Amino acid sequence: MRALILATTIAIFTTAVQASDFSLYPGFRDRDSFVEMTTDKGLIVEIVLRCSRTAKGQVTAGIMTYSKVERLYCSSRNRCTRDPIIAADDTCGT
């Protein structure tokens, strides 16, 4: 009986963990999209930005996060604000 309960608990836990890790790729469809990818990691959403594009087509990227609990956007320089544009500008260095 214990083994059945343990196996059921592990199955439910791993399914819940896998469901909370979800990624979207808006940059895949739109070459000019500012957001390359978002990954939902539960309490934190990781946002990969396309900061700039060189003449050769190479992309400079930056990563910022959003905390669902605190409702704050944090730049890669560890500065947090409620405004996503300020956090994105700080991440991309503009």
Kindly write down the DSSP assignment for every residue of 7-52, as one continuous string. HHHHHHHHHHHHHHEEEE-HHHH-TT-SEEEEEEESSEEEEEEEEE
Any domain includes 7: no
31 located within any domain: yes
Per the structure, the complete domain to which residue 38 belongs is given by 21-92
Whether residue 65 contacts residue 73, with contact meaning beta carbons closer than 8 Å, is answered with yes
> What pLDDT sits at residue 21?
67
Res. 9: pLDDT tops 90: no
- The number of folded domains in the chain is 1
User: Is 13 within the bounds of a domain?
Assistant: no
Please indicate, yes or no, if residue 11 is contained in any of the structural domains.
no
Query: Residue 8 falls within a domain, yes or no?
Result: no
Is 6 contained in some domain? Answer: no
Classify residue 26: in a domain, yes or no: yes
Residue 3 lies inside a defined structural domain of this protein: no
Q: What is the pTM of this model?
A: 0.70
pLDDT in tens, 17-46: 445 566 777 777 777 778 888 888 888 889
